[in-house]
Each structure stands twice: as structure tokens, then as C-alpha cells.
Structure 1
Amino acid sequence: MKSIAPLLFAAFAWAAPTLASAQAPAKPDLAKGQAIANQVCVACHTVDGSRGTPANPIIAGQHPEYLVKQLQEFKSGKRQNAVMAGFAATLSDEDMRNVAAFYAGREARPGAATNKDTIRLGERIYRGGIAEKSVPACAGCHGPAGSGIPSQYPRLSGQHFDYTEAQMIAFRSGARVNLQMNPIAARMSDVEIKAVSDYIAGLR
């Protein structure tokens, strides 16, 4: 009886690259991402994702994995925002990867803190937390310079004060669900949220 080992090896050798190519996502297409940005995102996030309306986030230079995750959550309804849900609903997973890669490649222009009376408080919270309230330092997850960690924590440096404050308040109320941020924001006062949000705006 002939051995079937050569046949099995041949079958495996043919299937292995096929399976690998099926599992590996295609490399993002920056041209397609830019086209989506210009058609869909530009009104709220500007052409390069930087320093638009303060109520909307700066997404230039943001980690692409984080941007894709947020778009997927808007589309699924896990993250609530009527405007973004409508836009995200039109995007495929490939579209999301393309547009996220495009914005991740843009350079965010630096911002500035504006409230000199709370800058020290904001810095203390960002770098050291609030020990008496068991609030950890923001830098522990988002980095000393606010650069974040890809796939885990977003870049914060230079983010609009208005946007950061609004998200912290949403985390505190539970309107935006995040298992890590909800209990942290819940222990922070309005003054503390404003101070750290303003400090983040000037972080670089």
C-alpha cells in the first residue's frame, strides 16, 4: 500500500499559504483612505484631522487600531453618537482600516493649555493621579507625553480641551461605556476634569 504522506504534505503545502493570505488583512490603501476622508470626514475633522471644531476630536496622528475600534463601536451601537453612527454605517471594515491609516499618518499640530490657574492641578493629576480618591495617573496608560499605546490606549497629547472634558463627563455619567475609564472619571470633580483636560490640550 502506497504511503499517503506525500499527498498530505502536498495538500498542506498548498493550503498553508492560502490560509495565511485569508487570515492576514490587506495592507491599508492610503489613497482610498484619503478619498473617504475628503468625502465623509472632512466636514467635522478637517482635511488632515487636526485642530478642527473643538467639540470634535483631533484624529491626526491617532493610533490606527484605536480609530478602527471606535468606528466599529459607532457602527455596532456600542458607542453612542447619532452623527458618527450614520457615517460609520456606510463604511466596511476595509474602509475603516484605510481611513484610519490615512489619519494616523497625518501630523497633529500642537495645542496649548489656556487656564494658568489650574495648570499645576492638571499636571499633578496627569502625572501622579489623585491618591486620596484612588484615581491613577493618566500617564500610566497614556504615557508621559500623551502618546498612548497602540491597540490599547489612545494618543491624548494636544487634544481639544472641549472634547476631552466632554468625554470625561460622559465616562463619569456612564453615557460612554469604558470599563477602565468609568470608575476613574466617577471619582473626579468638575474642577479636576477641567484641569486635567486643559493640561492635556497643551501636552506634547
Structure 2
Amino acid sequence: MSFRSAGFRPAVLGSAIALVFALSASALMAQDAQPKTAAPAAAATAAVPASATTAAAPATPVVEAAAKPGDATAGQAKAAVCGACHGMDGNSSDAQYPKLAGQSEQYIVRQLTDFKAAKRQNPIMMGMAAPLSQQDMHDVGAYFASKTPLPGVADQALVEHGQTLFRQGDATRGIPACMACHSIDGRGNPGAKYPQLTSQHAQYIQATLKSWHDGTTWGDDAQSQIMPAIAKQLSADDIAALASYIEGLHSADAQPAATP
């Protein structure tokens, strides 16, 4: 159907215009009557407080970069605070504190890590280890590993007993030879993280063995259970003899333990 202007009456045109206005008005009224709950997705997202989105998002764990082999030069500065107890070169003058000179980097890192994680309990050392990164620990370990332990002196009255236990153990009581893990001259095994014992203060060795004998442990892994189990088989005389013998034990070249 088509419309021609000649046949399109004014009355009809007026009715059509009125109808268009009526429909438009109805549409506008219907739109205004809709509830305002539906908001654009972007606006809804923007309305959420930043704190709410942050709280909902999972925390991103802080991953520490893998440590490089220790730098003894960097470690010297980092180890300065250790000197108060262990001596600036790792040779402590107070026998209650262990000598660290010549101790392997790997063993020192393991102990500092355990102190930081509170697996090994010592109020002073836990506080000292807390701020250290793994790289700090490696650097400190490398520094002390580069130093030479000063030789000690054994009580001759205890040498024979101590030497027998260190080199042969006592199979009847389930006591292995100490040198099986700590080497024939007490220099330890860095790869297995078995510590150097040579020239260590007898007082420190004795106190540590007694602590293990009485039930103290330095961790919950299999390696941490080795020495407590052995120490339980030792008598007070065994402990005294071993501690004295170890203090007087040193290799002829007196070189620091090698760090692979």
C-alpha cells in the first residue's frame, strides 16, 4: 500500500501523529518504571572497594631467589656480629661456644636454617638467624670455612678410651665409630653435612652429647635423629673421654675443610 499526498486527509495525519507521541510516551514511562538493580558489569566492578578485592585474592607467596655458593669476602662483613661469641676468625675463646673455623659451609647453612625455622632451639642463635637470607648464610659459612681451627689439647688420661670410641665404636652397645661419618681426622663430610669435629672445645662437645643423651633433638628429619640415638648409648665417662679426645684431634696439615 502506498500513500499519495493528494488523497491523504489532514484529519488522518493528525491522528497518526497523536498515535506516535502516545507510543513514545508509553515506552519512556515503561523504561523509567524498571528497577535500577541491574548495573553494567564495569560499573558493578568499579563499585567494589579495593580492600574487598584484595582480601578475596589469594596471597602471592614470597619466593626467595636461589642462593649462590658462598662468598667469603662478603661473608667476613656479615660474620662480624658472630665474632662476639665465636671469635672473629671462628676460634672462640669461650669454650661454651663452638669453634666455627674450618667448619663446612654446608653444615653452617643447615644449622642457621634450622635456627631460623626454630627446629633447633637456642634463644640467642634463633634471634641471630632470623634476619638472614639464604645467601647471607652461605656467605657467612664460606667465610668461616676459609679459616683454620686452632688445635686443642686432650687429657692424656682419657685419650685411650676416647680414641677407641672415635675409631672403633662399641658394637656390643650399638655405638658406631665416630670417624665413619666425621672422617678419620675429624674433618667431617661437607657433602653429607656431617660437621667437622677436630679441635672443637671439649666443654662444648660434652654439653652437646649430654643434651642429645637427655633427649634433645635438632630437627625432625632422619639426619637429625642420628646423633641423639647414638648419644643415648653413651655413658658419662664415654662422653667425657670422647669430648677430650676430639679437642686434641687435628690433622698434620691443619688446613680448613674443603668445600665442594
2:86 to 18, 30, 45: 45
1:179 equivalent to 2:179? Answer: no
Q: Distance in 2 between matches of 1:80 and 1:176?
A: 9
Partner of 1:154: 195
1:33 equivalent to 2:75? Answer: yes
Q: Distance in 2 between matches of 1:28 and 1:156?
A: 21
1:112 is displaced (CA, Å) by: 1.2
Q: Distance in 1 between matches of 2:208 and 2:86?
A: 17
The question of whether the paired residues in 2 share the 8 Å contact of 1:51 and 1:109 is answered with no
Structure 1 counterpart of 2:216, one-letter code: A
1:23 is displaced (CA, Å) by: 8.2
Superposition RMSD on alpha carbons, in Å?
1.5
- SS of corresponding position for 1:179: helix
Partner of 2:176: 136
The question of whether the paired residues in 1 share the 8 Å contact of 2:217 and 2:225 is answered with no
Structure 1 counterpart of 2:164, one-letter code: R
Q: Distance in 1 between matches of 2:196 and 2:110?
A: 14
Mapping for residues 83-102 of structure 1, pairs under 5 Å: 83-102=124-143
Structure 2 counterpart of 1:104, one-letter code: A
Partner of 2:185: 145
Structure 1 counterpart of 2:243, one-letter code: S
Offset from partner CA, 1:17-66 (integer Å, 9 cap, x none): xxxxx98642423232111111x201001110014210011001101000
* Of 173-182 and 99-108, the range deviating more from structure 2: 173-182
Report % sequence identity.
39
1:174 is displaced (CA, Å) by: 1.9
Higher-Rg member (1/2) = 2
Partner of 2:122: 81
1:108 is displaced (CA, Å) by: 1.0
* Of 24-33 and 189-198, the range deviating more from structure 2: 24-33
Q: Distance in 2 between matches of 1:77 and 1:198?
A: 30
Count of residues in Structure 1 that have an aligned counterpart in Structure 2 = 181
Q: Distance in 2 between matches of 1:27 and 1:134?
A: 37
Q: Name structure 1 gaps, 5 residues minimum.
A: 1-21
- SS of corresponding position for 2:74: helix
Offset from partner CA, 1:132-158 (integer Å, 9 cap, x none): 211010011111100111132111000
The structure 1 segments of at least 4 consecutive aligned residues displaced by more than 6 Å after TM superposition are none
Q: Distance in 2 between matches of 1:127 and 1:23?
A: 42
Q: Name structure 2 gaps, 5 residues minimum.
A: 1-63, 219-223, 251-260
Structure 2 counterpart of 1:48, one-letter code: D
- SS of corresponding position for 2:197: coil
Partner of 1:199: 245
Q: Distance in 2 between matches of 1:102 and 1:30?
A: 4
Partner of 1:70: 111
Q: Distance in 2 between matches of 1:95 and 1:75?
A: 12
Q: Distance in 2 between matches of 1:116 and 1:188?
A: 20
1:186 is displaced (CA, Å) by: 0.3
Structure 2 counterpart of 1:26, one-letter code: K
Partner of 1:4: none
TM-score (norm: length of structure 1): 0.84
Q: Distance in 1 between matches of 2:177 and 2:73?
A: 38
